[in-house]
Chain A
Amino acid sequence: MRLENPRPDETVNYSTEHPLKEFVWLLAGVSAIVAAAVALAGYFAGELAARVPFRVEKEYAAGITRHWEAQRLTPEGGEARATLRMLAAKLAAVMALPPGMDVTVHYADEKTVNAMATLGGNVVFYRGLLERLDSEDAVATVLAHEIAHAKLRHPASGLGRGVAVGVVLSVVSSGMGRGVGGDPVQVAGLLPLLKYNRDQERAADEAALAAVAALYGHVGGAREVFAVLGKLGRDDAARIGFLETHPLSSERLARVDEQARLRGWAPDGPVRELPPALAKLKPAQRTE
């Protein structure tokens, strides 16, 4: 018997293809598949959720409404809420809400610089943002923006979309055997979701502009709002547009002018002073 150990054949057991070639193909292919799956699932889930009757959404969101209604407000806060509700009623009148839909505005005595629309037509306006706005027009623009979200059923479609996208991404994540982390595949999956978000913000901006233009005859308040938002937090230069949930403030400001030009609205005009109940919240005038 002749025994021999030849040298290992290095062309059999492993591929000699450059690893970067496989990496690029896999990354591009998988990212495209995940992004397409997320976009599809997000689209259908969002559309489906937005078709749930508002009455059902409101019942579902009864807990949210109760939570905000149960907030104990100072007399100043109560006055602010009443003023916001009056302003919201004026805006709703020009915004043609669908039959059966109503919007409830809540005032949150917190320093958060934000306002939000959530399920069941609930709109929350935080003190932090109110303190930074200098005119009724600006407050109305924010309110109209949030009412537009409710009118366009964005909170419902956002929830439906979030659930569907969460399911798709968790399946991908467990399939890859890695945490969500900063994986580009996960980022690729989130890109369509962020795009939907930004599209919703643009739609709400447009509806809000139409409402304030109808109410005040110009869109100067919107310019103030986006200028204030632009000064908050990070500079637009330090943001990457397609990774953001909202369009950049600079873009929103430019769109105000563009929309004004296209629709024949006056881009600027005399703004109304803050109603006294809201003016009292400004830090310089607050007694606390």
Chain B
Amino acid sequence: MSVVRHLLACVCLAFAILGPSLAEAQKLVHSERSLYREVLVYDDGPIRCICFTRNCRIGRQTCMNTEAPERFVMNYTQMMMAALFLNPRPQSILIIGLGGGTLPQALHQVLPESRIDVVEIDPAVVRVAKRFFNFRTGDLVRVEEVDGRVFVKRAQREGRQYDLIMLDAFDHEYIPEHLLTREFLQEVASLLSPQGVLAANTFSSSRLYDHESVTYEAVFGTFYNLKEDNRVILATKEQLPPKSHVERNAAGFKQTFAGFDIGVERLLRLFSTAADWDRGARVLTDQYSPANLLNLRE
């Protein structure tokens, strides 16, 4: 009898804990199991998001406003677009990590002549992006379903070059550890054309920030750091263009970016070359890359 009472108490407690989250406005629109995870699509009013955890418990991968799909919802994607201020006319673009396809869609709109290769490890994410986020592929926008590092190594062997490379590969936790090392960044750098630009989306909290910063610095030297809740690194293959050059290029995008609800002035204010990290932090390498363990530390 006491066992039954105990059980009832447990069930009540469970409801008490789960209750509020179930009552939230988020509505599960679609869920799809893949080799890697469960890909979940939630609607919260007009905002539609992809999450890799139930009720988006550990963050949202990407979001779109279904009533105005062209408008950028997330801050970090806006900061990634600022890569165009360093090289306004990239002919060939590589994006590692598809998410909902916000970046390739917008880039294709801004640069309809440029070739865009997207690398996404999870076929389920590609299906979800096409079905729920209006992501379209074509002659100029292509997707390859493969691990980012495997793709980069192969592209290196084939001698491919890109004018813009965007690193945006995340699992439910963070960037996979083999995509954070000095060796990986050297491989990526070797794919950049002489006027090539790298944009990388990272987090700005936790001890990992120091380690990532010194690792990027070791490969690319000084870079532009755009920091809000996320941090976007903008680096170049050769000399980093001065701020005046960046501002001149940015002016040309004012109108186009307004259509995406991206404020060019706000982005420009974020550009910084100040090294606000511990320069003594250890560089991440293939031999030493405990990123997720470092991410646990404040």
Are A and B co-members of a single complex? no
B residues sitting closer than 8 Å to A (CB atoms) are none
A residues sitting closer than 8 Å to B (CB atoms) are none
